[in-house]
């Protein structure tokens, strides 16, 4: 889909107004006409990423058919990041990215993109420990876990999201000394509530993604064992 010059101007104006924060919006079609709908970026770090407000998305769906997502890269080239590629796949629609300073555009669309397990660059809520667990269970066990919105440092706000949501996804708690392949260790790393998930691969190896690090396979050593809140096993296993 090619954007008209008028739509591109609306997007660019919005991006310049929001800079240095990332702008975000949606392209909708209503009664055969294309419209750009500005949306609010509710990310806690809006200079680094965007989170589109649910209310804006719902209103856009009520106004017409959503056919594309738009956001800006105020400080970098509009080249899609891995986070953009992952989120584009989830959205199921094309994405347009613009740098408002140099007025340069880029475009991507869902193409079956998948990140490798090891070497992922951390981006909370998009490429993090839960998304790694989610991808692993889908690829290795053909189990589709639901995605959940999670704000950064949710555990500091008293939210026990990992325990609540893993139980909702059909997991049960098992003793640590009975751990087996495909079990998930829920850990509290420098926190009072579980804030990290690791997949047990067998032979004392775990696959996980710690904040601000690349995802990796590591030894299930004393530090991780000491900080394990509980082990979760899917009811299908």
73 catalytic? Reply is no
CA neighbor of 96 nearest in space, from 155, 20, 158, 14: 14
Token representation of residue 45 = 């770090």
Taking alpha carbons only, the member of 108, 113, 90, 87 closest to residue 98 is 108
What are the E-state strand segments in the chain?
Answer: 24-30, 33-39, 65-72, 95-99, 104-108, 171-174, 184-187, 196-202, 205-208, 216-219, 228-234
In the set 129, 151, 182, 209, the catalytic residue is 129
Q: Is 196 a catalytic residue?
A: yes
Question: Among 14, 71, 73, 208, which one carries the catalytic annotation?
Answer: 208
How far is it, in rounded angstroms, from Cα 113 to Cα 82? 9
Of 14, 182, 196, 209, the catalytic one is 196
Whether 208 is catalytic is yes
- 72/75 Cα distance (integer angstroms): 9
Closest CA to 88 of 107, 72, 110: 110
For residues 146 and 179, the answer to whether their CB atoms sit within 8 Å is: no
Catalytic positions are 129, 196, 208
């Amino acid at each position: 889909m090619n954007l008209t010059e008028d739509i591109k101007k609306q997007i660019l104006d919005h991006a310049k107004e929001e800079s240095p924060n990332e702008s975000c919006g949606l392209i909708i079609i209503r009664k055969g006409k294309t419209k750009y709908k500005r949306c609010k970026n509710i990310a806690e770090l809006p200079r680094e990423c965007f989170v589109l407000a649910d209310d804006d998305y719902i209103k856009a769906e009520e106004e017409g058919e959503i056919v594309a997502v738009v956001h800006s890269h105020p400080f970098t080239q509009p080249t899609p990041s891995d986070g953009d590629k992952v989120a584009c796949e989830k959205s199921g629609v094309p994405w347009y990215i613009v740098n408002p300073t140099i007025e340069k555009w880029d475009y991507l669309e869902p193409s079956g993109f998948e990140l490798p397990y090891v070497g992922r660059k951390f981006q909370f809520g998009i490429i993090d420990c839960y998304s790694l667990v989610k991808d692993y269970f889908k690829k290795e066990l053909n189990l589709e876990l639901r995605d959940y919105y999670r704000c950064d440092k949710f555990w500091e706000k008293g939210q026990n999201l990992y325990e609540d949501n893993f139980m909702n996804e059909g997991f049960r708690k098992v003793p640590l000394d009975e751990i087996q392949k495909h079990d998930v260790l829920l850990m509290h790393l420098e926190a009072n509530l579980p804030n990290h998930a690791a997949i047990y691969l067998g032979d004392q190896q775990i696959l996980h993604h710690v904040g601000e690090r690349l995802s990796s396979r590591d030894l299930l050593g004393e530090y991780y064992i000491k900080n394990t809140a509980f082990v979760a096993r899917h009811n299908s296993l």
